[in-house]
Amino acid sequence: MADGFECSLVTPEQSMFEGTVTYANIPAHDGQLGVMANHAPLLVQLGSGELDLTLPGGAHRQFDLTGGFAQVNDNKLTLLSEAATERE
């Protein structure tokens, strides 16, 4: 898993995603933010926008997020969002 990292997306209602990703494009409060494996520790406020997760093999999962926080620590990304809906 050297090129991937664990990611979880949670809202107050449910866990929306839990798995390994190779890249995450996050809607931070002040613009888009990219996260890859071995990213430095980070805590950022989320804005409203699209979360794009790249899975191993190149597939994508996309979600619309509204507010919350994201934390990167020990090669794990945790997104706590006020609301999230998955794009089809």
Smallest CA-to-CA distance from 67 within 54, 84, 53 is with 84
**Domain ranges (residues) in the chain:** 1-64
Other beta carbons within 10 Å of 86: 12
pTM value is 0.93
Dump pLDDT digits (tens) for 18-61: 999 999 999 999 999 999 999 999 999 999 999 999 999 999 99
What is the CATH number that goes with domain 1-64?
2.60.15.10
Structure tokens at 28: 């931070």
